[in-house]
């Protein structure tokens, strides 16, 4: 992580991601909504449970559910793809407020999670074409990549306190 945090080569990608974030988070009201100000809690970590849970459940069905589980698995992958959009938007809203090393790790986190989403999207398309083995391989690969992305996201929230620091709670006494 320290190597990525100190690698200025990532900054060019940060500039490109900033353009995307600016298109998604156009106003302070939108930014507050996506950051979870209305909830009193960061929204992005909460939302990640939906696509990840759907995708991991689909992989479980693929590996252990047999032929009858194929339609349910496809629906779970589709649901995960749909909810990945607001999840990513909430992540971009949080990322816009970062700088330095956390900003660089956020770029890598976004890239890895985008790759996982593309793998799941490809899995969904393969399912539509009836290429079940390919679909399962793509889905499991997406799960592996998403796990790596989760490691980077965990670093941002647990180590760098992005989206998790709330001064209104103060230290435990």
173 in any annotated domain: no
pLDDT at 86 over 80: yes
Q: 35-81, pLDDT tens digit by residue?
A: 999 998 899 999 999 999 999 999 999 999 999 999 999 999 999 99
What share of the chain has pLDDT > 90, as a percent? Answer: 90
Q: 159-170, pLDDT tens digit by residue?
A: 998 887 665 655
Q: What is the DSSP letter of 162?
A: T
pLDDT at 30 over 60: yes
The contacts of residue 153 (CB under 8 Å, 6+ apart) are 45, 48, 91, 109, 113
Q: How many angstroms separate the CA atoms of 82 and 163, rounded?
A: 23
What residues make up the domain containing 25? Answer: 11-159
pLDDT at 6 over 90: yes
111 in any annotated domain: yes
**Residue 42 backbone class (left: φ over 0; alpha: ψ -120 to 50; beta: rest):** beta
How confident is the model at residue 165, as a pLDDT? 61
37 in any annotated domain: yes
164 in any annotated domain: no
Q: How many angstroms separate the CA atoms of 95 and 101, rounded?
A: 12
How confident is the model at residue 169, as a pLDDT? 58
Q: How many angstroms separate the CA atoms of 25 and 90, rounded?
A: 9
For residue 151, name the pLDDT band (cuts at 50, 70, 90).
very high
The number of folded domains in the chain is: 1
30 in any annotated domain: yes
How confident is the model at residue 162, as a pLDDT? 87
169 in any annotated domain: no
Helix (H, G, I), strand (E, B) or coil at 97: coil
Contact 34/93 with Cβ under 8 angstroms? Answer: yes
Q: 102-136, pLDDT tens digit by residue?
A: 999 999 999 999 999 999 999 999 999 999 999 99
Side-chain half-sphere CA neighbours of 96 within 13 A? 22
How confident is the model at residue 171, as a pLDDT? 57
- pTM here is 0.92
How confident is the model at residue 172, as a pLDDT? 52
126 burial (CB, 10 Å; 0-12 / 13-18 / 19+) is buried
């Amino acid at each position: 992580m320290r190597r990525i945090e100190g690698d200025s080569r990532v900054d060019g990608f940060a500039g490109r991601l900033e353009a995307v974030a600016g298109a998604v988070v156009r106003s302070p009201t939108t930014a507050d909504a996506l950051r979870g100000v209305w909830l009193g809690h960061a929204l992005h970590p909460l939302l990640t449970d939906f696509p990840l849970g759907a995708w991991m459940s689909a992989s479980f069905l693929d590996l252990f559910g047999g032929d009858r589980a194929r339609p349910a698995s496809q629906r779970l992958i589709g649901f995960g793809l749909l909810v990945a959009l607001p999840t990513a938007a909430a992540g971009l809203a949080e990322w816009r407020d970062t700088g330095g090393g956390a900003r660089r790790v956020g770029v890598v986190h976004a890239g890895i999670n985008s790759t996982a989403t593309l793998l799941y999207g490809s899995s969904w398309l393969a399912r539509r074409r009836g290429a079940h083995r390919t679909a399962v391989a793509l889905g499991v690969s997406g799960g592996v990549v998403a796990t790596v992305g989760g490691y980077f996201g965990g670093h941002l929230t647990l180590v760098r306190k992005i989206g998790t620091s709330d001064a209104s709670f103060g230290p435990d006494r």
